[in-house]
Amino acid sequence: MTRIVPAMVSGQQIFVECPSWCTVDHVEHAEGFLVDLWHASNYADLNAPRIGKDPELVLFARLGIDPFASEPERQRAFITVDDGGEGAYMTPDQADEFADNLEAFAPQIREMARTARGDA
């Protein structure tokens, strides 16, 4: 589902089609050129507790669409998972595969915790 929202491009207000999940304020985050316009959702964060320190953000993910991207896959909704570096852009099917990997990873961490506690 999409909606029509205002955007600022090259100092001019225009109206653009925007996905319902997009949280970007296209007026506040003005672009110099229409081809630079992009859409993003809120972020999902994965934080890791740390001994004697505040938790640290290790991964974050969001939905995105870059309507004018050179890669056709990024012109449709995609998922980005990033650790603060370049990031991994995924199709919905690839994001499902990544989620499967996370689910397989969690029991391994739990087993390490059991071993570290002496439970194993």
- In this prediction the pTM is 0.86
Identify any residues that bridge with 38 across adjacent strands, giving them in sequence order. Answer: none
Half-sphere exposure of 25 (CA within 13 A, CB side): 3
- Residue 119: the pLDDT is 85
Domain that holds residue 9: 1-37
Strand 39-40 with 53-65, pairing: antiparallel
- Residue 72: the pLDDT is 94
Does residue 89 form part of some domain? no
- Residue 114: the pLDDT is 96
For residue 44, is pLDDT > 80?
yes
Does residue 58 form part of some domain? no
Based on the structure, what is the number of domains in the chain?
1
- Residue 120: the pLDDT is 62
**What does the H/E/C string look like for 6-54?**
EEEECCEEEEEEEECCCCCCCCCCCECCHHHCCEECCCEEEEEEECCEE
Dump pLDDT digits (tens) for 47-81. Answer: 999 999 999 999 999 999 999 999 999 999 999 99
Does residue 11 form part of some domain? yes
For residue 103, is pLDDT > 90?
yes
